[in-house]
Amino acid sequence: MSGTPSRAWLLRLVIAFSCAQAAVSMARPAVSYRALALGADERAVGVIAGVYALLPLFAAVPLGRRTDHGRCAPLLPVGVVLISGGCALSGLAHSLVAMAAWSGVMGLGHLCFVIGAQSIVARQSAPHEQDRNFGHFTIGASLGQLVGPVAAGALIGGPDLAGTSALALLVAAAGCALALTSLWRIEHRRTETKAREGASPVPVHRILRTRGVPGGIFISLAVLSATDILTAYLPVVGEHRGIAPSVVGVLLSLRAGATIACRLVMTPLIDWLGRTALIATTCLLAAVLCAGIALPVPVWALGAMLLLLGFCLGVGQPLSMTTVVQAAPPDARSTALALRLTGNRLGQVAAPATAGLVAGLVGTAAPFVMLGGLLLIAAGLGARGTGGGDKRLWRRKTNSASLGAPRSRNQSQNQSAQQKESP
């Protein structure tokens, strides 16, 4: 894996992920606006946003099991087709029930794509490259989150909110289909995992009891819930505060742009602070900023908060991927990533539904206070450490990759002895 002569596969994967994520980021606010135009209230918007994660909630672990013992690449085109179909059919739907159903199909497609893509990055990256490669991979998500809301804001508006939101969904479907053009030769043959006869899968409870895995899952859940509710509920906040959809799209893109900037400097930040301090600090700042969105601040202040919030939220996803991959048993990494995604989907089901209930009872800004509390817990877990991902360990892994064979063999023997002694 470390001898791969080119990382062109990673560039193509980032391009494909950008197209898929742009479609989803464009479709999520478009679905909210179309639901509002069809008569939905805040609670119904929350339910529709939660259904997006419902089907993936049951499919994540089986897909991870399959990927651990097979190829990853076939999941990518399947995911693209499901996302495109979900977007297009959501735009053609004329009932809230149908919109919720096709939103679930869209979420299942996104899950297929992400499990396949993350597993490819994990397999084709050396341990000391994983922070960097996962950071670059998630730039694709940030690029999509940057383009999608702006495109949605440019298309949605005017007196015919239902018609313009339907148009945005159809455009999202076409944009997602472009991802198929960059999915060729993504997976190297030598990194494909063949099914092992007689090999029993690692039990889920054993994976979840591995130090580092639960903390990484919860941090990822909190960060993604914050991103998801921002995408789904900032349009609702904008409607109540008189902010135009085009301005809401720009605000969401500011957050995504800051996330891209964060991931471009991920490696220097880890080298400077260490993974533990970096995760804890950014989650704490994100908690304060999310709670601040509940305040009736002017648009320029809201933009400044979202800019800083985007930078803080950019840390959690790639570092939680690395934490889970490095902590999990080698033959269950795709399943561990799938469990992480299951946690994400649990958050995406529970958080929007809870946010809809809170918004209906207290007000549209209250869900952001709830997010602040969730991120505060994530900051506490991050401060406790997520399984040895601090600066010293990161440097040790980097140094061991550059040392000669005799020393690496001794280190491997020492690590094997430590693993035998550990419970």
- What is the spatial distance between Cα 122 and Cα 140, in angstroms, rounded to a whole number? 16
| pLDDT score at 168 | 92
- What is the spatial distance between Cα 381 and Cα 387, in angstroms, rounded to a whole number? 11
- What is the spatial distance between Cα 208 and Cα 190, in angstroms, rounded to a whole number? 29
Residue 252 Cα distances to 142, 246, 371, angstroms: 11, 10, 16
pTM of the model: 0.70
Tokens read off for 338: 């799938």
| pLDDT score at 20 | 93
| pLDDT score at 352 | 67
DSSP 335-403: HHHHHHHHHHHHHHHHHHHHHHHHHHHT-TTHHHHHHHHHHHHHHHHHHH-SSS-SHHHHHHHHHHHHS
Residue tagged 């430590």 (tokens): 418
Q: Which residues of the chain carry a pLDDT beneath 50?
A: 1-5, 191-198, 387-423
Query: How is residue 200 annotated by DSSP?
Result: P
| CA-based torsion, 96, 220, 212, 285: positive or negative | negative
Backbone angles phi, psi at 385, to 5 degrees: 100, 150
DSSP 389-418: -SHHHHHHHHHHHHS-HHHHHHHHHHHHHH
The per-residue pLDDT for range 80-119, each reduced to its tens digit, is 999 999 999 988 888 888 988 998 899 899 988 988 888 8
Backbone angles phi, psi at 205, to 5 degrees: -65, -30
| pLDDT score at 314 | 85
- What is the spatial distance between Cα 107 and Cα 216, in angstroms, rounded to a whole number? 22
Answer for the pair 2, 397: CB distance below 8 angstroms, yes or no.
Answer: no
